[in-house]
Chains A and B, each alone.
Chain A
Amino acid sequence: MKKSFVFKMLSLFVIASFALAACGSPAATEAPAETEAPAMTEAPAVTEAPATEAPSAEEVTLRWRTRPDNQEEIDVYSQISTELDAQLDGITLTYEPGGTEGANYQDQLRSEVAAGTAPDVFWIPGTDVADFATRGLILNISDLAAQTEGFNVSDFYPGPMYHLTYNPETDASGADSGALWGLPRDVSTFALYLNLDLIAEAGAPDPRELAAKGEWDWDAFLDVAQKTRALGSDIYGYGASAWWGPYGVWLNASGGGFFTADRKACALNTPESLAGLDFQRSLYQDYDVATPYGEDPEPPFRAGKVAMFQNGRWATPGVRTVDFNWDVVELPNGPKGTPGNWLFWGAYVINAKTAHPEEAWKLVQALTTAETQGKVAALGANIPSRVSQEALDAFLTFTPPANNQAFLNGIADAAAPTAEGPLWAGSWPEFDKIMGPAIQGVLTGATSVEDFGATICDEANKVFNQ
């Protein structure tokens, strides 16, 4: 009887332990910054921000998240987190990659922000900054930045900083605007990944040489594309993915764009925009040199069937595995003499509900030092966001591709890149969902450029605040 009782008690203990073992080790399960929702109709001032429990101990735990493209990046960010953990006194860091099999990074992040379980510091794409800022989901850290010795917004590329310092209440931007929503993690831009074997086989001129001579324009591009396309029915001269980035460059290069200069109305129907779109349409419909629009061009490029593949620096790690000769070249110049490239960026921002805004600000700064950015850039996936010759020189050493300069040319002032940016006066996701299918209709031949121009802004202008 006694033994049975002891056994039952032991079993009970084991079962209870099983349930409570889920608590795991303290370090691994430290709760996210505990939060109570502040009034969120406007971004809380820094001094008011932590409507949360005061830190109970000197050591503060911060969760941070950024979207990695592959396991190598996860490893690098984890390593960076460990190193910064050691550097930052009183701060313990937990890095999490975010995103799951069924939910992408942004959707999961939004759900967590809504549930109040988002990390203290997280990365968002440049296009999302306005949505997060105007809804009070991220902190305005301008006060903290003003108190930080040595911090200067001009240390970063001006394109991203224009949007990151934009104050929607005053329409002002810049160091004195009274707004700072985060710091850019990195920048990137488009280039054309070249299958040099195909180009040589077709007897087409080397785009890198044409670019060096200043002869790399739309006509030269079309010439190379047509010559390589002639190699066979399954060989394509050009390939690009179906999202706003790739088609946007053609509009930008011809002097058009998505929005008016003040970004408060649709400009897709201007003659310049329509001219750029028409050239791109001709690549698909008239000259038939491109992989079918809407099909992922990366697999055929990696299979050696596409001569010129338009993509960002983030595609480099994947392209490095191909077994043909390859390199990159900047995008061809359009009618206005520039390639119309984008300056892509995303930013580290601070959760408005964090209990530790000052520590989070320290973390954001640490994540955007030249040293930290250099470690990530060494993987080859992106370009440091600090304007620093040292950082650029280091970037050039991260080969292949041999012609890394093509990416730097893309973000140079001479190329006049258009910074990816949010819509402070409207909803970017909704604009994108109207623009994307309509442009797809043109590029697949279902809609004429004229019909597109006649109707697109009627619809797209509805997403701007009236």
Chain B
Amino acid sequence: MSKVALSDARTNQILRLHIIWRVVFALLATAGTLTPWIGWVTFASNWQKILVTAILLVAALASLFGARQLTRRSHAGRMIALTLDYLAFVACAVIVLNTGQVFIGIDALGETFGRGVPYLGIAVAGYFLGAIEEYYPKRNLSPTNSLKAVSRWVILGGFVLFLWQIDAVNGLLYFLSKLAQPKGLVAVAGVLVFGFSLWSMMRPELAQALNAKTNHEQIINGWLFLSPNLLGFLIFFAGPLILSFYFSFTDSDAFNPPNWVGFDNYARILNVRFAWLSSPDQLAREVVDIKIYDEVGRFKFGNGGLLFAAADKFFWLALRNTLTFALFAVPLSVIPALLLSNVLNSKLPGMKFFRAVYFMPSIAAVVGISLVWQWLYNATIGYINYFITVGIEFWNTLFNVAIVDPKIQWVSDENTALFAVIIIAAWQSMGFNTVLFLAGLQNIPGELYEAATVDGAGPWAKFWGITLPMLAPTTFYVVSTTTIQAMQVFEQVFILMNPPEGPNNSTITLVLYLYRSGFQNFKQGYASAIAWVLFIVIFGLTLVQFQRQRRSSIYEG
């Protein structure tokens, strides 16, 4: 399709329309700020009303500012117009899809999808038909009767049959029927109006009239490509993050409007007491106010001891367990991975196979893995204890000794439960870390090893003197990410342990406690506060790691 260039007069006319549109946009947005407060649209709580009002107010002000810039023929006005129209366009498109129930329709598609799968085979066959010509081109065929042309129609036919089989026609009709309501029609109108405005503003004549430069177009395209990810980040990550920060200052239960409680949630988390015990077994109620505090633990020494009590003992138990978990799980998933990567980095035959084998636990579903380990760990009929028993019996018979079978209660003994989880976590993340180390090893110049060999260095000296220092950036990344993962341990504990807190709360972790508080005890506000304390703990640990990394002189500059 050929493009028709616009005359200057026409361009000016369109520009004026855009200026008017910006003012109308501002008026509409301003009117929109009133809707939450006069009951046109219902919101569950005040924060939602305030948020919507603030967004619309900013949009209105930005639109007015954009109109002013457009009158000055400033390119900033064009950028503002494009941004606002694009965001409004996306919002309307989402409302259209939501009103048409496309999102919840995914389940229905899942039910009918299987019926259409064989017809996708036709589309695949069409693709191969086209591929044949790629490899065996025949000169006497014209572009219209070539295999490629045929293949395109076959692919299209296959897709059409597929859509027919999965009931797409009914789906379309249903979608349209759901749109036929005021909300849907307004959203469709919004899509059309904002889409048209966008298209118009993107026209080269208008860009030229607004003094657009080449880099402006590049910037716009860059943002456009970035926008799906950026919007997803803002809506599904940054938004909830800010929201959880707000909730952490409320008593939200997720169902009813939250009340502002200030720092109460944080104060409860951090409310602890230490008290001296006159005897190691002195009751906590004799030294702290038991109506507020619960015993978390006690340090016994001599004829006395020190009691540690907290208003929320579960938080401190969870913190203790999480730190213990990280303390063991991180070295156990990093050090073996480092050694393993050195072995797998050799050029021995079959190494690629083993690389895949070690990586497998990382891609397997955590739920499945945890269930398998649950069986392995069973104290009475599990394989681990079975092999320990067989091994001990063999040893006893062979050497005529009487070693007692420990019959370890892996997941039901408070002394071993957390260790059982550590083993799974380390086993699971070791493969991924190995691959990261492998990538790091392959970036170390071979000349360094050759020079070291010439200097008479042995394998161990090369490892300490070359491999380890050269791998420092990789090691830093691996240790940091593994530590963060370890501090957020949840799935393994949740699935493996029954109850998840384990015997005597020995496997309660911070994320597990957060989950329990928010989703089982209806304390979303308190759970949010726990999440932010966890964030601070992880941030602090990562900061320490960064500082240690900076001290490394090898990679400075």
Real binding pair: yes
- Report the separation of the CA atoms of residues A430 and B523 in the bound assembly, to the nearest whole angstrom: 11
- Contact A31–B101 (Cβ < 8 Å): yes
Which residues 506-522 in B have Cβ within 8 Å of A in the complex?
A: 516, 519-522
Please, which residue of chain B has its CB at the minimum distance from the CB of A128?
A: B520
A292 is an interface residue with CB less than 8 A from chain B = yes
> How many residues belonging to A are interface residues under a CB distance threshold of 8 Å?
65
Interface segment among A3-11, A204-212, A267-275, A312-320: the answer is A3-11
The verdict on A136 contacting B160 (CB below 8 Å), with A3-B144, A17-B172 known, is no
Residue of B106, B413, B498 touching A296 (CB-CB under 8 A): B498
- Report the separation of the CA atoms of residues A292 and B375 in the bound assembly, to the nearest whole angstrom: 15
Interface segment among A162-170, A223-231, A434-442: the answer is A434-442
Residue of B178, B291, B522 touching A131 (CB-CB under 8 A): B522
Q: Which residues of B contact A243 (CB under 8 A)?
A: 499
Q: Which residues of A contact B104 (CB under 8 A)?
A: 29, 31
- Report the separation of the CA atoms of residues A107 and B443 in the bound assembly, to the nearest whole angstrom: 47
Q: Which residues of B contact A293 (CB under 8 A)?
A: 412
Q: Which residues of B contact A438 (CB under 8 A)?
A: 504
Please, which residue of chain B has its CB at the minimum distance from the CB of A236?
A: B380
- Report the separation of the CA atoms of residues A243 and B256 in the bound assembly, to the nearest whole angstrom: 31
- Contact A294–B112 (Cβ < 8 Å): no
Query: In whole Å, how far is B174's beta carbon from the nearest beta carbon of chain A?
Result: 5
B284 is an interface residue with CB less than 8 A from chain A = yes
Which residues 94-121 in A have Cβ within 8 Å of B in the complex?
A: 101-102, 106-107, 110-111, 113-114
- Report the separation of the CA atoms of residues A261 and B437 in the bound assembly, to the nearest whole angstrom: 63
Residue of A10, A25, A427 touching B170 (CB-CB under 8 A): A25
A155 is an interface residue with CB less than 8 A from chain B = no
Residue of B159, B171, B256 touching A135 (CB-CB under 8 A): B256
Q: Which residues of B contact A241 (CB under 8 A)?
A: 498
Q: Determine which residue in A114, A300, A436, A438 has the highest number of CB atoms from chain B within 10 A of its CB, and name it.
A: A114
Residue of A10, A28, A234, A242 touching B107 (CB-CB under 8 A): A28
- Contact A21–B503 (Cβ < 8 Å): no
Interface segment among B15-23, B161-169, B198-206, B324-332: the answer is B161-169
- Contact A429–B521 (Cβ < 8 Å): yes
- Contact B160–A14 (Cβ < 8 Å): yes
- Report the separation of the CA atoms of residues A455 and B102 in the bound assembly, to the nearest whole angstrom: 55
- Report the separation of the CA atoms of residues A10 and B160 in the bound assembly, to the nearest whole angstrom: 9
A321 is an interface residue with CB less than 8 A from chain B = no
Residue of A17, A29, A114, A459 touching B254 (CB-CB under 8 A): A114
Which residues 180-200 in B have Cβ within 8 Å of A in the complex?
A: none
- Contact B109–A22 (Cβ < 8 Å): yes
- Contact A295–B378 (Cβ < 8 Å): yes
Residue of B283, B294, B409, B519 touching A459 (CB-CB under 8 A): B294
Query: In whole Å, how far is A231's beta carbon from the nearest beta carbon of chain B?
Result: 14
Please, which residue of chain B has its CB at the minimum distance from the CB of A117?
A: B104
Residue of A14, A37, A102, A455 touching B42 (CB-CB under 8 A): A37
Q: Which residues of B contact A295 (CB under 8 A)?
A: 378-380, 409, 411-412
Q: Which residues of A contact B291 (CB under 8 A)?
A: 462
Q: Which residues of B contact A458 (CB under 8 A)?
A: 284-285, 290, 294
A69-107 contact mask (Cβ, 8 Å, vs B): 1 or 0: 000000000000000000000000000000001100011
- Contact A20–B102 (Cβ < 8 Å): yes
The verdict on A444 contacting B380 (CB below 8 Å), with A25-B112, A454-B283, A455-B285 known, is no
Given A23-B108, A242-B499, output 6 extra A-B contacts at Cβ < 8 Å: A10-B156, A14-B156, A102-B495, A135-B522, A291-B379, A440-B503
Q: Which 5 residue pairs across A and B have the least CB separation, nearest first?
A: A24-B108, A294-B412, A28-B108, A23-B171, A114-B254
In the complex, 13 of the A-B residue pairs with CB atoms within 8 angstroms, ordered by the A residue number, are A17-B168, A17-B171, A22-B108, A23-B100, A24-B111, A36-B42, A41-B256, A101-B365, A102-B367, A294-B409, A436-B501, A440-B503, A441-B504
Task: Give me the interface of A with B, judged by CB distance under 8 Å.
Answer: 3, 7, 10-11, 14, 17-26, 28-29, 31, 36-37, 40-41, 101-102, 106-107, 110-111, 113-114, 131, 135-137, 234, 236, 241-243, 291-296, 299-300, 303, 305, 427, 429-430, 433, 436-438, 440-441, 444, 446, 454-455, 458-459, 462
